[in-house]
Amino acid sequence: MRTAFASSFIVAACLAAAGCSSRDPLEAKVTAESPVGLQMWISDVSGRLSQEQAGNLQEAIQELRFRIMSEGRASGSAPIEAALCEELDGKTAREVIVAGFSCEVDRLQDELSELHHSTRENARLRVREGDTASADYLDRVRAKVTKRLADAIDAQARAKRILAEYTSQFD
């Protein structure tokens, strides 16, 4: 009797453990009571995510740090990390990725607006006839802005694609 009970208990424990391990790691809740706690959580969950998902999580977290800095909510490493922990604690990995890539899409939209404005303004600039040094310089500036614009367009398309992967899973 005792052996049957022990065997049943072991089987039930194994099934429970198997059930727990098959859960979607994107639904893992962030535990970020401190920056060290956040790093420990990231390390733990990254081992259960695919390499691509782990990379997306890291990128999203970095983007959220950028937003904290750009909004002026905190400055300096420790205060930024504390604000990040406060923002992330209790969210799921998926929610963190969605929030981070949403911020990235918005940031890149602002950058694109500025680059389009710069492109229009640079198109209006003229140099004196025969001033090849200024003409060459202006051509280099225009080429740099054009390259930055193309890179920002590509980056935003990528961020939107990644964001769609994680939000379409909610549907």
Question: What tens digit of pLDDT does each residue of 45-101 get?
Answer: 999 999 999 999 999 999 999 999 999 999 999 999 999 999 999 999 999 999 999
Question: What tens digit of pLDDT does each residue of 136-147 get?
Answer: 999 999 999 999
User: Is residue 32 exposed (0-12), middle (13-18) or buried (19+ Cβ within 10 Å)?
Assistant: buried
Question: What tens digit of pLDDT does each residue of 13-33 get?
Answer: 444 444 444 589 999 999 999
> What is the DSSP code (8-state) at residue 25?
G
Q: Please state the rounded mean pLDDT for residues 98-124.
A: 96
Q: What is the mean pLDDT of the chain?
A: 89
Q: What is the distance between the alpha carbons of residues 130 and 147, in angstroms, rounded to a whole number?
A: 27
Q: Is the pLDDT of residue 5 over 50?
A: yes
